[in-house]
Amino acid sequence: MSATITGSGETIRPDLVMEYRTERVSRNVYHQVIGKAEQDVSLEVDGKRYGNLRLFFSSKVEAFAAYAALALGLPYEFADSELPEVGMRFARDGRMTLELTENRRHWIIEMEYREVT
C-alpha cells in the first residue's frame, strides 16, 4: 500500500500498512409482533466503519513523530493510492501502541480507529 495519513498540517507516510481491518454494525431494528410468527424489521443504514490499523516504519524519527501526531485527538484523512476503497476520514478510538520489532530496527504503530464525517 502507498498510504498517507494527513491532518493538522502534518502528513504521515508509513512504509507499509501491515493491517487494515474494518467492521460495521447493523442498525436494523427487529420487532416482535404479538400473534405473528416472524418479526417485523425496520431497515437502517449500517453505522460507520471502525477497526484496526497497523503501520510499519523503518525510521525511528518518523515512527515517533507519527505516534505523537496521532495522539493529538484530531480527525485525520487516510488515503491509499493503490486501494482507494479504504480511504476515509477517521479519529483514533481506544488504544494505540508503538512497538520496536525483534530486530530492534523497525517500529510498528497499532491503533484502533472510528470513521467520522
φ, ψ for residue 29, nearest 5 deg: -120, 125
Residue 55 CB contacts under 8 Å (≥ 6 apart), including other chains: 3, 12, 14, 16, 17, 18, 66, 108, 109, 110, 111
pLDDT band for position 1 (cuts 50, 70, 90): low
Checking DSSP bridges between strand 50-57 and strand 107-115, what pairing results, if any? Answer: antiparallel
pLDDT band for position 8 (cuts 50, 70, 90): confident
- Write the pLDDT tens digit of every residue in 73-112: 999 999 999 999 999 999 999 999 999 999 999 999 999 9
Cβ distance 47 to 27 under 8 Å? Answer: yes
- Write the pLDDT tens digit of every residue in 26-62: 999 999 999 999 999 999 999 999 999 999 999 999 9
For residue 45, the tally of other CB atoms under 10 A from its CB is 9
Q: In terms of residue numbers, what domain contains 29?
A: 3-115
Half-sphere exposure of 102 (CA within 13 A, CB side): 0
pTM of the entire predicted model:
0.85
pLDDT band for position 15 (cuts 50, 70, 90): very high
The three grid cell numbers given for residue 36, joined into one nine-digit string? 405473528
Question: For the chain, what is the domain count?
Answer: 1
CATH of the domain at 60: 2.40.30
Interatomic CA distance for residues 15 and 25, integer angstroms:
31
